Structure formats: structure tokens, C-alpha cells
Amino acid sequence: MSDLIEIKLNEGELEGTSASFAAWLVKVGDKVTQGQPVAELETDKVVMEVCAPADGYIENLSANIGDSIVVDQVLATISQTATVTSQEPDEAEVVKTIEPKAVFSESSVTQQPLNKSAKELLSPAVRRLIKENNLSIEQINGSGKGGRITRDDVKAYLASGASTTSKPELSIPASTSITERTSRELVGNKIPHSPMRKSIASHMVESLLHTSPHVTSVFEMDMSAVIKHRKQHKAEFEKQGVNLSFTAYFLAAMCQGIKAVPQVNARFHEDALELFEDVNIGVGTALGDKGLVVPVIEQVQQMSLFEIAHNLQLQTVKARDGKLTTKDMQNGSITISNHGVSGSLFATPIIINQPQVAILGVGKLEKRVVVKTIDDEDYMVIKPMCYVSLSIDHRALDAHQTNQFLSVFVDTIEAWK
């Protein structure tokens, strides 16, 4: 038909990432408007929506859940006239054109019985939330089209406290006997890998074993000056809605290290080392058991501490709310892993985020006894310390550049004013 419009991924939407089809948000015959989400894909990092390119009616759905999706692949078609398919007595297929029905008023819509099939049509993000919190879809009212449950519906339900249950009291029998247990075969439960977990596994193996010879240097860092500065300015930042985190200081100090050692902010090619003018820092953000994402803060070298903290907060919130797009994780030139927030002192090697040549790691902040020389006398003092590491691609960098970068980074943090 001449009025058919294709729904497909255009060049640039995936940006080199792989994607699998996750869910349809519409069915054949549904009326859609331009920009309305009609499907969800899972890439190696995020769940992304595919939107209708024009107003019309869903004519055909071509993709199935689990299919690998590539650029320019037609996922569905939209007709600009509504059609239904019926069977005549001779079993021939006849297409009849119908006029669009009048739209229900808001009051009449709310009185319609719940569309059970729509309520059961869950996106991957909603399915994960429901599974993680051991909920039933029957417990949750859906605000989406036809009663479809959205992520916000689940979060609102959890926030209401309706899902909380009291823990059973521990009961101990009046008399107990201990018997020797016999051995039995180990029984497990296989949990299928998500596309994100599969991609992380593939990237880690590729980076460490097939691409970059990793070498890691570790320095020690006194955080006294930064702690003092943060204490003086944290309330000032909060009044403007910005959280002043230690990570913001680390990003600023990375720019100073890169200014001294530009080779750290680079990409290795077989015939050359490509140095970047912009410092686009990827910030490793853990999503619990779901995996790890790396949103990018672009052009950090041009930002004040306030601007760094503001942009860092925006990307971190998007990451934890599952709202990152592929664009949010592109164009990184170097990465930081602030793994100390989860308690580790240092980690090595931290795997390089290809095609970058270096990744910074910052360990747990803790008070330790260290030796300081004051007026040529050595004293044992208690200082807030942490380990900082740089894992590098040894094809692109050597120990000299690695240690020089770390020296400037540490000096910047320790002399912060």
C-alpha cells in the first residue's frame, strides 16, 4: 500500500551497540501518534524505546521477542488509514477500510474494564522490578494504555508501603536433636544472562585477553584537603540542588593529570596514538545485580567544580532510574571507577573500557596511621587515606607516563584549596 510507513532503527541510534527485541507496546490495529513508544529493545547497556515516526494505525508487526535487531531493519509498518481483516464465506481474505472511532472522554475511559492483555504486557524494566520485589501484577494498578503497568506504577506501589510484610518470628523447638546429614547431589537454579550481562562478559574478556596488555600502578592519597573544602561548600551546593560528591573532585583532578600527560586521554591505533582535546570522562555506575553502566560527562576540562558536580548528578540519577540512552554512554575518552564506595581498598586490574587506553580507580576512604615529616622530624598521624590506581594499555603508555599522571592527580587532590 502506498500509505504504509516503516518503523525501523535509523543510522546512529544504536551507535555500534548490539540490541535484541524485548517487547511490543502495541498490537496490530492500534492507533498511534508520532513519537509514541511502540516497542522496547535491550542493548548491551540500556533499555531503549522505539517510537512511531508518524500518526496512523499499526498494520504489521515483524519482530519477535529475542530477535537481534540491526540498523534499517523494519520492525513494523504503520498505515494512515485504519484497516481490519475479516474472513468471508469463501475464506478469501478481504481488507475493509473503516472510519476511526470517536475518542472516549476521560470519564468514560476510567470506567472501562481493565484490558488484561495490556496489563500483562510488561517491559523488561518493569518485569525486573516486579521480580526483584516479589510482586504480583494483580497487586498493581496500571496507568498506561489499556491498563498497562509502567515502571512508575511499580515504584509508586513500592513507595506506598503496601508491599511490605512483617518478618516471621524465629521459633526454636523446645527440644532439638542434631543428626548427621547424608551427602546429596548439588542442585542449582540457572538464571539466564541479560543482554547487559552478556555484553559485559564479552567486553571484559575482549579487553583484557585479546586487545590491551594491562598494567596497573597504585598510589596512596591523603584526602584531608578535599574533605575540608567539601565541608565548607557542601551546604552552598545543596542550596542550588547539587550534591557535592568526592567523585566531582576526582574528575577535576583527572583533567589536571591529563593536561600533564595527554597520552592518557587517547585511543590506540596500529599506526598512531590519537590524542583527544576534550576530556570526556565515563563514570562507572553499578546497578546492583543488574550490571554496570558507564555514563559519560563530556568536556570536563571546561567545567567548574559546580558544573562537574551538577552534570555528574544528572547522569548518576538517570543511570539509577534506568533512563540512560545510548547517547549518554558514547564518546568517552577515559573512565573512572570509584569502586571504594562499595568498600574495596583497591582493585586490579580494573578492565579498560575499549577503545580507551586508561581507567582510573579510587578505593575506599578510611582513616589510617601514616608517617609525616614535620620540621625534619617523623610523626605518626591519623589521616583520611585512599588508594588510587591507573590501569593502562601498555601498547600506548609506559610506567613513566602512568606514574606522572598519578603524581599530578594525587598532588591536585592533596593541595586542593
To the nearest 10°, report the CA torsion of 42, 43, 49, 50: -100
Cis previous bond, 355, omega within 30: yes
CA distances from 65 to 53, 61, 128, 191, 369 (A): 21, 11, 16, 18, 57
| Cis peptide, bond prior to residue 349, ω within 30 of zero | yes
**DSSP assignment of 263-301, as one string?**
GGSEEEETTEEEE-SS--EEE-EE-GGG-EE--EE--GG
Active site residues: 394, 398
Cβ atoms of 112 and 106 within 8 Å: the answer is: no
In DSSP terms, 282 is beta-bridged to 296, 335
The CA-atom distances, in angstroms, between 347 and each of 158, 252, 284, 351, 387 are 35, 22, 14, 10, 9
In whole angstroms, give the CA distance from residue 47 to residue 192: 17
Is the dihedral angle over the CA atoms 41, 320, 139, 31 positive or is it negative? negative
Distance between CA 316 and CA 224 in Å, rounded?
25
Residue 9 CA to residue 67 CA, distance in Å, equals 14
The span from the CA of 290 to the CA of 239, in Å, is 33
Phi, psi angles (nearest 5°) of residue 390: -130, 115
Nearest residue to 200 via CA among 124, 126, 290, 327: 290
